[in-house]
Structure 1
Amino acid sequence: MTRAGDAAPLMTTAAAAAASGYSAQQVRDLEALGVIPAAVRASNGYRRFRADHVHALRAYRDLARAVGPVDARRVMRAARLLPRADAAALICGLHIRLDGEREQAHAARRALESIRAEAATDAQPVDGDSMTITELSQALGIRASTLRYWETVGLVAPERITTRAGTARRYCLTAIREARITAALRAGGYRIPDVRTTITAVRDLGEVSHSIDALDNRLEVIARRTLALLRAGTLLAEIIDSPRPSSAHRD
């Protein structure tokens, strides 16, 4: 079956690079990585590219912006090789993953807004305004071991009290707040070093606006990635809808 673009004039590597916005070396590298189909070889051995090569290069550009170059390379290869239904499902999965990141960030932002609202009305701690590690872990829906780990990396600083059995952790209002901020940011996809930076800022500033601003920035980045994925999707739909290689039925 004739592939789309086969009848179109062939382009040199330099021409394909100019049409796609890549350098000539990048075009050769992306061909070697399987991002685009193998180039046609002229009688002198030089590469010649078709319009569908440029089409794939443009799709990869936005796809890499949306999901990163590693996943983008995997998806570009799969879009040509997998059966149509599987390839289409793969693209749907990318949208689902981005939507999950967005929802996590929104959930973290809502949690931080709630914490900020509480901070505006909190009085000074009084006797009894504390929780045990078991109570706090249950309140946050995490394991006690997670709270202990957060303590070792400096995210939460519980007090130590003496009991008949020895010593135990007690979380005052400040430690509870830090644990809640940590839980919210971790749910939003933040790594431990990023959370530590935020907790330090909260300790210094006594508020969570810095964290909320960071989440707003994250949501903006996710929005840009989503738009890039939508742009790539139009191009990928044409690639997926093109004739499948004869080996497409195999895993």
Structure 2
Amino acid sequence: MDKEYISLPKLAELLGVSRQAIQKKLVGKINAGVVKVKTEGNTYFIEIATLPDDLKLRLKNLPEMGKEKAQKLMDNTDKDLHFEKELWSAADKLRGNIDASDYKYIVLGLIFLKYVSDAYYNTKTKLLTKLSDVKGTYYVGNEEARKSVVEDPNRYRGEGVFFIPEKARWEYLRSKAGHPDIAKFIDEAMEEIEKENPKQLSGVLPKNYIRTPLEPHILGELVNIFSKIDFSEDEKK
């Protein structure tokens, strides 16, 4: 796609303001032709590139918020985490197999992968629900067309969510948990996510699991432990 568009209601939702506030801010620019729009049925879609700079900046920073939230899950000691049991289980697996100072490095990377995957799956489910609703504005009757839409990275970026390539998704990693090359699969998942989201994540994610002294079965057990964590509830809050 040469141009990216976003609906007025979705823009308001992402920015955390009312539709009326967005309309008031943009109506003059739309009428003057500065902000470009197109219509589909009764819905207005705004060309993102023509939005005022302050709104474009806020939209651009949305995916970064996902990364920060994942990091805060480990860094914010004032928050009651809902996966303490899994963290203790992970610590038990790591104890004696790796220096205590490296615990966080190993754990945080896996927590991040699980978090962004859950956010991706949650958004994909919502998109499919909208596209399958016969009475809805976004209904797409053809099943293959629906599949194509939900694999469009721009759909996720418009929701402030990282698009996760197939071989970086948690379910794929979980299917490889018993594989002797599980460390390689994790490193490759990190690389795939960085390639898909270079502006936010290039050079940020850990990609050294293959160099850790952990036996493959220990790393695989960690993947299985963190599979029990459901971050989709956090996304709904």
Do these two structures clear the TM 0.5 threshold for a shared fold by scoring above it? no
| TM-score (norm: length of structure 1) | 0.24
| TM-score (norm: length of structure 2) | 0.25
Larger Rg: 1
